[in-house]
């Protein structure tokens, strides 16, 4: 999952982004409302965490413009303004949830997970492909009952592949959803992480789940037919 965090206080932005990245989310940061609208127009995000008190354009205006432009993903407003009328205004302009500062980070994570479980695509908490099980709440992975230890980025890549099981995904799609704006498209980091996943997910098992179609991308499936190596 790739998030846009819109927060003008650098220290607060760093703390929130660090916590989210430790939970396997890729995070881009916008420091004002205009930058937020620009990034949302050129990148694909799965969720926006949006402060209200922003330079250049406040969070209410950003939220209204995003919804007016057809942005369908969840928007969580995060702000020091906790008056009832502010919460109502935020929800009325298109936000999906509202969390007042100061907040407990675990509550922020719980609200994010709740928003991500809502349709467009209803996400199950436990995903299973063949004999591999992935728990999206606890970020635990098992195969045939054997626990598999993954880094945060390895887990993020695996979850992305599992959610699209049976479908071919290319490097650009992976970069957009698993890495942030600092990703270097000329690097081989995606290939490196796919190899790491293969060594943990497939080695020692009689059936591979991660397949490569040369020049096109990757597929997570128990059926390798048509996928290539």
Q: What is the pLDDT of residue 228?
A: 45
* Spatial distance between the Cα atoms of 98 and 111, rounded to a whole number of angstroms: 9
In whole angstroms, how far apart are CA 58 and each of 8, 17, 169? Answer: 11, 20, 36
DSSP labels, 116-179: HTSSSSPPPSEEEETTEEEETTTTEEEETTEEE---HHHHHHHHHHHHTTTS-B-HHHHHHHHS
Residue 136, phi then psi, degrees to nearest 5 = -75, -15
Which CATH class name applies to 126-220? mainly alpha
Q: Which residues pair with 129 in a beta bridge?
A: 132
H helix runs in 43-119, sequence order? 59-68, 84-92, 105-116
Q: Are 107 and 99 in contact (CB under 8 A)?
A: yes
Domain assignments of the chain as residue spans, ordered by start: 2-116, 126-220
Query: How far apart (Å, rounded) are the C-alpha atoms in residues 62 and 65?
Result: 5
With beta carbons less than 8 A apart as the criterion, state whether 48 and 75 touch: yes
Nearest to 202 by CA among 129, 138, 135, 137: 129
The answer, as to whether pTM is greater than 0.75, is no
> What is the predicted pLDDT for the residue at 199?
95
pLDDT at 68: 86
Tokens of 69: 């432009």
Mean pLDDT, contiguous 10-residue spans, the chain (229 residues):
94 94 93 96 93 92 91 88 72 87 91 79 73 88 93 92 90 85 82 93 91 89 63
Residue with the two structure tokens 């995904």: 169
- Give the model's pLDDT for residue 82: 66
* DSSP assignments along 176-216, one per residue: HHHS-TT--TTS-HHHHHHHHHHHHHTTTSSS--EEEETTT
Class of domain 2-116: alpha beta
Nearest CA among 176, 151, 178 for reference residue 162: 178
pLDDT value at position 122?
Answer: 45
How far CA 186 is from CA of 31, 77, 121, 158, 191, in Å, comes to 27, 35, 31, 22, 11
Distance of CA 58 to the CA centre of its chain: 24
């Amino acid at each position: 999952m790739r998030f846009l965090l819109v927060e003008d206080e650098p220290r607060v932005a760093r703390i929130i982004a660090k916590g989210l990245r430790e939970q396997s989310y890729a995070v881009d940061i916008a420091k004002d409302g205009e930058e937020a609208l620009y990034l949302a127009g050129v990148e694909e995000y799965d969720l926006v965490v949006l402060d209200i008190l922003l330079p250049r354009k406040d969070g209410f205006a950003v939220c209204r413009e995003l919804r007016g432009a057809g942005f369908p993903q969840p928007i969580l407003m995060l702000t020091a303004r906790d008056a009832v009328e502010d919460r109502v205004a935020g929800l009325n302009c298109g936000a999906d949830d509202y969390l007042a500062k100061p907040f407990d980070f675990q509550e922020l994570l719980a609200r994010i997970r709740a928003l991500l479980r809502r349709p467009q695509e209803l996400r199950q908490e436990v995903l299973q492909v063949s004999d591999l099980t992935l728990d999206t709440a606890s970020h635990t992975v098992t195969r045939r009952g054997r626990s598999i230890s993954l880094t945060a980025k390895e887990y993020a890549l695996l979850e992305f592949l599992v959610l699209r099981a049976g479908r071919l995904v290319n490097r650009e799609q992976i970069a957009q959803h698993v890495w942030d704006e600092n990703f270097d498209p000329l690097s081989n980091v995606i290939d490196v992480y796919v190899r790491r996943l293969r060594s943990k997910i497939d080695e020692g098992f009689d059936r591979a789940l991660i397949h490569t179609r040369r020049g096109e991308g990757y597929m997570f499936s128990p059926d390798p037919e048509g996928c290539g190596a």
